[in-house]
Amino acid sequence: MRALLHESFGGPLLVRDVPDPEPRPGGVVVRVGASGICRSDWHAWQGHDADVVLPHVPGHELAGTVAAVGAGVANWRVGDRVTVPFVNACGRCAQCAAGEHQVCARQTQPGFTHWGSLAEYVALDAADVNLVAVPEELDLATAAALGCRYATAFRAVVAIGRVRPGEWVAVHGCGGVGLSAVQIAAAAGARVVAVDVAPGALELARALGAEHAVDGAGDVPAAVLELTGGGAHVSLDALGAPATCANSILGLRPRGRHVQVGLLPPEQGRAAVPMERVIALELQVLGSHGMAAHAYPELLGLIAAGRLDPRRLITRELALDDAGAALAEVGRQPGIAVVTRF
């Protein structure tokens, strides 16, 4: 198969011919119809993830059709249209027994623990636990965008942030996760403040429902406090940087809720969480890590009803031959890039 491969961290990203994957017991191989290019792929390429072993094929946001089925798979057949969360749960540990698949103790992640989906085929584990059927009316590019950024934002806003109509929501970082959070929070009836340093990202955030757009290069907490009349009820760090984490917390009103969604690689330095403010204002500091496959029906139902439209976040469809350049420059253009030609 053709796949995007790198043999050193930060080194060349080249399309190569590599062996086709085989399904493991309980798993499947999916012929990839679409695969998003995410900032997490960039972190893996840079060597920020200890699970990545070289040489490596990145990619974890995917949709396609089942091409081969391993022993013991009960619910899936060749030809089924599927997507999958970026966390593939084992289905057997204590966390999985509690339904918390997104924090599975023995999780695998395509594009991190094994070769990923920026390729013609990808192997996925524990198919009966992790695969999600893609409705015929949903195109594969949109389904792929759900796998990490949109589904992650949906759970962060709805389940972890518990956003309610009329609340102020601040979104720090308007990449794929942040723009998804803007659209989801606005659809939930919240009033959204979008924060970013890129004018194009802020323009797209306004188009997706943000009431205010704030230049992230300025005094962000002061701007959020002023625009919201005392601070956001819910604030999300969708980028993952010490500054955005601190700004998110400092822009909350009393008893507000901070949700950390963006990864904070140690290479950037540890985030200095302003705990004195957390204590004085009784703030909640929450983490959010993806969304389990069994939670997808609510999200898919809202898409089918027209209340959410993740397709609006896809700004580029690319060929696999262009994926390396797009991954190296991820975040420089607003919206989500998806590879749809392999």
Helix axes 199-207, 176-187, angle to 10 degrees: 30
pLDDT above 70: percentage of residues in the chain? 99
Q: Is residue 154 domain-resident? A: no
User: Residue-wise over 314-323: b if at least 16 C-beta within 10 A, else e?
Assistant: beeebebebb
Q: Are residues 142 and 9 in the same domain?
A: yes
Residues 83 and 221 in one domain: no
**H or E stretch including 30?**
strand 28-37
Is 105 found in the same domain as 223?
Answer: no
Contact in structure between 6 and 54 (CB atoms under 8 Å) = yes
Kindly state whether residues 104 and 79 are assigned to the same domain: yes
Kindly state whether residue 131 falls inside one of the protein's structural domains: yes
- 71: pLDDT strictly greater than 70: yes
Query: Mean of the pLDDT values across residues 55-66?
Result: 98
| CATH code: domain of residue 334 | 3.90.180.10
Same domain, 277 and 304: no
Percent of the chain with pLDDT over 90: 94
Note whether residue 229 is domain-resident.
Answer: yes
**Would you say residue 157 lies in a domain?**
no
Instruction: Give the predicted TM-score (pTM) of the model.
Output: 0.95
In a domain, 42, yes or no: yes
Q: Which of 272, 287, 302 is the last residue of a domain?
A: 287
Please check whether residues 166 and 34 belong to one and the same domain.
no
Q: Please answer whether residues 328 and 13 qualify as being in contact, where contact means their C-beta atoms are separated by less than 8 angstroms.
A: yes
Q: Are residues 188 and 228 in the same domain?
A: yes
In tens, the pLDDT along 286-334 reads 999 999 999 999 999 999 999 999 999 999 999 999 999 999 999 888 9
User: Cβ-count burial of 277 within 10 angstroms (0-12 exposed, 13-18 middle, 19+ buried)?
Assistant: middle
**What pLDDT shows up at residue 264?**
82
If asked whether residues 34 and 87 sit together in one domain, one would say: yes
Same domain for 266 and 298: no
Taking residues 266-280, what's their average pLDDT? 85
175 and 95 in one domain?
A: no
Same-domain pairing of 21 and 138: yes
139 in a domain, yes or no?
yes
Q: How many domains does the chain contain in total? A: 2
- Residue 7 belongs to a domain: yes
Q: Which of 271, 287, 303 finishes a domain?
A: 287
Q: Which domain holds residue 47?
A: 2-149+291-341
Q: Are residues 36 and 84 in the same domain?
A: yes
Q: Domain ends where: 249, 265, 287? A: 287
Q: Is residue 156 part of a domain?
A: no
Instruction: Measure the N-to-C terminal CA separation of the chain; round to a whole number of Å.
Output: 10
User: Is pLDDT above 80 for 268?
Assistant: no
Lookup: tokens for 84: 């999958």
At residue 271, the pLDDT reads: 79
Confidence check: pLDDT of 265 > 80: no
Q: Please report, for the domain that includes residue 249, its CATH number.
A: 3.40.50.720
CA dihedral 79, 85, 86, 90 (to 10 degrees): -90
